[in-house]
């Protein structure tokens, strides 16, 4: 997801850009951890960010002309989780059928009784968003972070 912060981040030097991205990412990760539902703690513990910082490829630079904008460095942060069920928590699930694999049966407990079934109809789950609100609730804070690093960058040029 991309947002327009309404500030000219091209004036940021690379060091300030990286620091602003790290600080913003840490803010969103912290918020997502606070908003995430907790059962075992696995989901909450898995929320993290990864910085992506790519230089333009030599072949891309060779293809450009003065009339065409030269390729620029790409820097962004990916925020998320590697837990496979996170998307079901974030967006919920529709009612669906769960079927035992390999001809075996499903085993679960209801009122201290062990139940075996070949399949069950799951009623679905309500969404419990934690990543999207962590991002959207912090857009103003992210903008302030970038503005403060932009100010440092400009003051450093004087």
Looking at per-residue pLDDT, the higher value among 134 and 66 belongs to 134
Per the model's pLDDT, the better-predicted residue between 78 and 102 turns out to be 78
**How many CA atoms does the CB half-sphere of 128 hold within 13 Å?**
16
The answer to whether the CB of 78 falls within 8 A of the CB of 49 is yes
Tens-digit pLDDT profile for residues 11-46: 667 888 889 999 999 999 999 999 999 999 999 999
pTM attached to this predicted model: 0.78
- CA dist list (Å): 95 to 119, 120, 156: 13, 11, 57
Q: Where are the domains of the chain?
A: 9-92+127-157, 93-126
Residue range 78-101: average pLDDT?
96
Q: With bands split at pLDDT 50, 70 and 90, how would you rate the model's confidence at 67? A: very low
Query: Tokens 């908003």 correspond to what residue?
Result: 35
pLDDT above 80 (res 1): no
Long-range contacts of residues 32-37, Cβ cutoff 8 Å, at least 24 apart: 32/79, 32/130, 32/131, 32/134, 34/134, 35/129, 35/130, 35/133, 35/134, 36/89, 36/128, 36/130, 37/89, 37/128, 37/130
Q: What's the confidence (pLDDT) of residue 9?
A: 60
Instruction: Let me know: does 9 contact 21? Beta carbons within 8 Å.
Output: no
């Amino acid at each position: 997801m991309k947002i327009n912060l309404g500030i000219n981040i091209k004036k940021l030097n690379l060091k300030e850009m990286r620091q602003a991205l790290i600080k913003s990412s840490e803010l969103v990760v912290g918020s997502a951890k606070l908003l995430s539902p907790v059962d075992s703690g696995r989901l909450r513990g898995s929320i993290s960010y990864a910085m992506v910082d790519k230089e333009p490829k030599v072949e891309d630079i060779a293809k450009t002309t003065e009339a065409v904008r030269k390729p620029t460095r790409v820097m962004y942060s990916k925020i998320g989780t590697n837990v496979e069920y996170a998307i079901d928590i974030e967006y919920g699930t529709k009612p669906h059928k769960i079927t035992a694999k390999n001809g075996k049966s499903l085993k679960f407990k209801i009122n201290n009784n062990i139940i075996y079934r070949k399949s069950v109809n799951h009623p679905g789950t309500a969404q419990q968003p934690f990543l999207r609100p962590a991002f959207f609730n912090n857009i103003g804070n992210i903008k302030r972070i970038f503005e403060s690093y932009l100010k440092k960058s400009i003051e450093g040029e004087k």
